[in-house]
Every structure is written in structure tokens, then in C-alpha cells.
């Protein structure tokens, strides 16, 4: 399956630095269980491919997801496997996370500290100084963690779903069953949102993958809420009692448009409460080991939930998690417009545009798709509708490159390829194997480009 290893690279990966050879590696359900407040890139048809997943993972997106893949076609033909999925060892990010706190990511901790600091110190007095001392103490407990990759499948039959999972299983950290796609073609094919009212079918598919891959393999289920919440409760209970590891909840029904309907946070919270009512998943805990102390210790725990729908800013993500009780927040359209939103940026930073262009062109992403991605990223930077029309009318890769060069958006030869290196002060020169990851994320430009096959 040539597509599994992504585009060819020279030199070989064995001679290149890896971002996280020593970082803690957990499947998505244990990652969410051990570190609250994680960020997730939603599956997007055509858009959440390798180059884009690589980009967002550099900006505090802890779990990334492939575009929706048809399980039957993926399991049946090699051509489908090669065209639908590619990966490499460089796409997952490396993060420093705090265990046992409501918001464990660097960006969220920074934002919460900024909010606390906005109150004058003289009004805080001793309480303020004590809070700052606690913050400094917690900073010493950070754990270096590798991000996770999930493959999403659309299926209505247990066999093809299990077959596709077996084929892709060793290249990803988990799979997701799509039970929320509202598109008419999917519903007619008995896929996506059709499954929202087929709890027994969802149960059988989850069981089939667990039987094939093992009880500790991560199987998440992505749903939409139903106008009749009793049906949502039935779906959640069937999926979780069958062994689902994560529940991802979009706060709209299948009939509601993302464009004009607000997200129902109360509906998401209802699904979370239904999941919590299922109790501990004692049969599906971790296998123990050194990393178990950061997760459930092998005893199981409540199934973690992820909130989805209209997450456009870091504050949205933090607020969603607080209001719904979810461990994670997922974004789709927000990340398309601003791949750095989870890192606290208000709009796409220039270095992200350059990084995506270089990675996408080098890894063979279709030129038209690169242009669509860049149009989303640059939308807020265009001085008017005329410039947007001009950019979208550019014909060919050369014209697009010339435009980016004229705007100063191409990746330069100075600084770090990983934008978080300078943002968080990781400026120490790498000094050998084992360096350049986590808090020492500081490979030189040439080393990092080589490691990414550029």
C-alpha cells in the first residue's frame, strides 16, 4: 500500500530527526482521559489530508482526523487505499500537557493566565500571589506527549468496517465511525446520519472492530443530536456498551444547516450526561505500563466526549468544554479559516501560510486543493472582494507561488520551520539524537526540512 507511507522522501527517514521519538504515546481515548481540554481537527471531505493535518498539528491541535473514507471501497481495492489515505512519521505534533487540570494545553493555560492577570495585582493581594505560585509549580509537571491520528470511516455493515480498520490499524491511533454526515447521498447509501436512528447497527459495527482489533483499540463514534433526545440516549448507550472508546457530538440535528443554525450546547451536554450514565468502561482500560499513571491506570473510566460545531476561536473551545463537560473540542470550518486558532491566533499567521504551501506542494497535494486551502486562510487578509476574486482566478502553481512571494508569504530561510519554536522560546540549537522534540523543539531549518522530506 504505497500511499500509507506518504510521499517519498530523500534522505530516508532513518537519517532524519523525528519530532517526538521519546514523547509519551497514547491512543486518543486515553489521551483525552489523561489530559483534559484537548483540541481536535474534524474530518473534512477533501480538506483534512496529510499536509493540512501536519499544519494544524503544529498549532496545538492534539488529535487530527482523516477525511471520511468509504469503508467498503477502502477494504476492497488498493487504488482506493492509495488515493484516500497517506501518512508519515512527521505529521503528528509534540505537545507539553499538564495532567489533572481542566485545561491542559499550553495555549489554554496561557489564555487563562492572561485573563487572571487582567485583574490588577493590588486587588488580588495574597490570593493573587498564591495563584501565581501554584501556576509556577504546575508548569514543572508538564508532560511531553505525541499527538494522535484517527481515520474516519463511513459504513453501514460490520464486516467492511472491521476489514478497513484492520488494513489501516497499524498506521493510525484509532478509527472513527461517521454517524453524522447530513449529505443526502450519504443518507441514501445508509451511511452517516442514517445511523442516528439505527443504534443496533452501530452497536454491531463497534463490536466487530473490537473483536478484530482488540478491546484496547480506540473506536470513536461521531454523532449529531436528534430532535427526540430519547433516540440520542439510545444511540449513545448502544455504542458505549458495545465498547466505543470516544463519543464525538455535533450540536445540530441532521436537518439543520451549519450556516444558519446555532449549536445546541444543551443537546451536547445531554449526550455527555447519557455517556456518563453508562458508567465506567472497566473492560476497556489501558494495558498499564509506564504511561498508565497519566491515564486510567488500567481500571477504565468514563468515556471521554468531544464537542463539535462552530468552534472559531480558542475561547470558543474553552467555553464549550466548560459548558458541556466534554474533554475535547473539535473544529472544521474554523480551522480551515485559521489553522492556528487553537494556539490563540486571531487569524492565520504568515508563517502558517508559507509552511502549508511548502509542505503541500512538496508532498503532492493537488494544486486546486492547495489554492482552496490558501483562499480560506487568506480570506481575512484580502483587502477586498476584488483581491479574493483575483486570487481564486490564478491559474497554475507558478502563478500562485508568484502571488505568495509578492505578498511575502513564502517560507524564508531564517527562523524555524516549526512556528511554535519561536513562539514558546525553543531556541536552543539541537545537539544530537533525542533533542529537538517537545520543549527542545528546535531543529535547524535544514534539519527539519530534511526530516519532513523537503
226-239: pLDDT as tens digits:
999 999 999 999 99
Residue 389 clears pLDDT 60, i.e. is over it: yes
Asked whether the predicted pLDDT for residue 391 surpasses 50, the reply is yes
Confidence band, pLDDT 50/70/90 cuts, at residue 215: confident
The answer, yes or no, to whether the previous bond of 188 is cis (omega within 30 of 0) is no
The whole-number average pLDDT for the span 354-383 is 90
* pTM of this structure: 0.84
* Domains identified in the chain and CATH numbers: 2-102+143-343 (3.20.20.70), 350-451 (no CATH)
The closest of 208, 267, 284 to 33, measured between CA atoms, is: 284
pLDDT tens string 178-201: 999 999 999 999 999 999 999 999
How would DSSP label each residue in 215-275? TTS-EEEEEE--SSHHHHHHHHHHHHHTT--EEEEESS-TTS-TTT----HHHHHHHHHHH
pLDDT computed for residue 189 by the predictor: 93
Q: Is the pLDDT of residue 75 over 90?
A: yes
What DSSP state is assigned to residue 414? S
Is the per-residue pLDDT at 447 higher than 80?
A: no
135: number of Cβ within 10 Å: 13
179, 181, 218, 442: the catalytic one is 181
41 tagged catalytic = no
Confidence of residue 140 (pLDDT cuts 50, 70, 90): confident
**pLDDT in the model for residue 38:** 95
Q: Give me the pLDDT at residue 21, please.
A: 60
The C-alpha cell at 130 is 498564591
Would you state the pLDDT for residue 363? 85
Residues 78-107: pLDDT tens digits? 888 888 998 887 788 888 888 888 888 888
pLDDT at 423 over 70: no
Alpha-carbon span 170 to 38, nearest angstrom: 23
Amino acid at each position: 500500500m504505497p500511499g500509507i507511507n506518504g510521499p517519498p522522501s530523500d534522505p530516508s527517514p532513518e537519517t532524519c530527526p523525528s519530532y517526538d521519538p521519546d514523547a509519551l504515546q497514547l491512543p486518543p481515548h486515553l489521551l483525552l482521559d489523561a489530559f483534559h481540554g484537548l483540541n481536535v481537527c474534524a474530518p473534512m471531505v477533501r480538506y483534512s489530508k496529510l499536509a493540512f493535518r501536519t499544519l494544524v498539528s503544529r498549532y496545538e491541535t492534539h488529535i487530527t482526523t482523516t477525511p471520511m473514507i468509504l469503508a467498503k471501497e477502502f477494504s476492497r481495492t488498493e487504488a482506493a487505499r492509495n488515493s484516500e489515505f497517506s501518512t508519515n512519521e512527521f505529521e503528528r505534533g509534540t505537545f507539553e500537557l499538564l495532567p489533572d487540570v481542566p485545561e491542559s494545553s499550553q495555549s489554554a493555560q496561557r489564555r487563562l493566565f492572561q485573563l487572571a492577570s487582567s485583574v490588577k495585582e493590588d486587588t488580588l493581594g495574597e490570593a493573587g500571589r498564591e495563584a501565581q505560585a501554584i501556576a509556577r509549580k504546575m508548569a514543572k509537571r508538564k508532560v511531553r506527549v505525541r499527538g494522535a491520528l484517527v481515520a474516519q470511516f463511513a459504513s453501514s455493515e460490520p464486516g467492511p468496517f472491521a476489514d478497513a480498520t484492520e488494513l489501516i490499524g497499524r498506521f493510525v491511533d484509532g478509527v472513527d465511525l461517521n454517524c453524522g454526515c447530513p449529505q443526502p447521498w450519504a443518507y441514501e447509501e445508509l451511511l452517516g446520519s442514517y445511523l442516528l436512528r439505527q443504534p443496533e447497527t452501530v452497536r454491531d459495527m463497534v463490536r466487530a472492530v473490537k473483536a478484530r482489533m482488540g478491546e484496547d483499540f480506540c473506536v470513536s463514534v461521531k454523532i449529531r443530536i436528534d430532535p427526540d433526545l430519547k433516540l440520542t440516549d439510545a444511540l449513545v448507550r448502544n455504542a458505549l456498551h458495545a465498547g466505543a472508546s470516544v463519543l464525538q457530538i455535533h450540536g445540530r440535528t441532521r436537518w439543520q444547516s451549519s450556516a444558519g443554525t446555532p449549536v445546541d450546547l444543551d443537546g451536547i451536554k445531554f449526550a455527555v450526561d447519557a455517556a456518563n450514565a453508562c458508567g465506567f468502561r472497566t473492560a476497556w482500560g489501558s494495558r498499564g505500563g509506564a504511561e498508565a499513571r497519566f491515564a486510567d491506570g488500567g481500571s477504565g473510566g468514563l468515556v471521554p466526549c468531544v464537542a463539535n460545531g462552530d468552534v472559531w476561536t480558542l475561547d470558543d473551545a474553552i467555553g464549550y468544554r466548560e459548558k458541556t463537560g466534554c474533554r475535547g473540542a473539535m473544529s472544521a470550518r474554523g480551522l480551515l479559516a485559521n489553522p492556528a486558532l487553537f494556539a490563540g491566533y486571531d487569524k492565520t499567521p504568515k508563517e502558517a501560510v508559507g509552511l502549508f504551501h511548502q509542505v503541500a506542494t512538496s508532498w503532492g497535494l493537488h494544486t486546486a486543493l492547495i489554492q482552496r486551502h490558501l483562499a480560506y486562510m487568506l480570506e481575512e487578509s484580502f483587502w477586498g472582494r476584488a483581491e479574493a476574486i483575483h486570487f481564486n482566478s490564478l491559474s497554475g502553481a507558478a502563478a500562485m507561488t508568484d502571488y505568495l512571494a509578492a505578498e511575502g508569504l513564502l517560507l524564508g530561510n531564517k527562523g524555524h520551520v516549526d512556528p511554535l519554536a519561536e513562539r514558546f522560546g525553543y531556541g536552543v540549537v539541537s545537539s544530537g539524537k533525542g533533542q529537538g522534540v517537545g520543549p527542545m523543539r528546535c531543529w535547524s531549518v535544514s534539519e527539519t526540512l530534511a526530516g519532513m522530506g523537503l
